[in-house]
Amino acid sequence: MTALISEIRNAARALIVRQEKILLLRKEGGEQGERFALPGGGQTPCESLKETLNRECMEEIGSSVEIGELIHVADFFKLRETQPPTRRHVVEFLFQCNIDDDYTPHNGQQPDKHQIEVVWANLDEVARLPLFPQYLSTCIPHYQNKNRKLYLGTFHDHAAP
């Protein structure tokens, strides 16, 4: 049985799209193998979501971002590689962001654990990529739809506990 960590953690993620390409972190290692994620991460105490997002982008992609519209919110139960297995409840806030036109993908000075590189991926192929968390593959292709749902609901990575 998988235990649930009692604290809820907020996370802010950046959806950066330029010329039909999306900026992603490529990660390898751990139990999940190769996967792709949006830049961003966990909020610290006394930090706004926008401050979180800019700090995480500086750490992971080596650049600040211009933060735009809130696109989605989702409850996510992240399976952690612990013994015994645990899940962390994460509330993710996905923002549409822009980055300088001259930005070239590169790791920042404090990349995520398992982060290999930063890449531009074709937006029309994103649904076929191993995204983490997996729910992103269903919402990213529709980010421009003004009738999209803001709250996506609850998601688990891997099998439900």
Q: Assess if residue 77 is contained within a domain.
A: no
Parent domain of 22: 12-70+93-143
d(C-alpha 67, C-alpha 45), whole Å: 20
CATH of the domain at 35: 3.90.79.10
pTM exceeding 0.75:
yes
pLDDT at res. 33: 86
In a domain, 121, yes or no: yes
Strand, coil or helix: 142:
helix
Whose tokens are 């292709």? That residue is 141
Whether 42 is covered by a domain: the verdict is: yes
Residue whose token pair is 């972190």: 25
Map residue 51 onto helix, strand or coil.
helix
User: Quick one: pLDDT at residue 159?
Assistant: 42
Angle of CA points 109, 110, 111, to nearest 5°: 105
Residue 39 preceded by cis peptide, ω within 30? no
The structural domain count of the chain equals 1
Bridge partner residues of 25 (DSSP): 37, 118
Q: Which residues of the chain have pLDDT under 50?
A: 159-161
On whether residue 1 sits in a domain, the answer given is no
In a domain, 157, yes or no: no
82 found inside a domain: no
In a domain, 79, yes or no: no
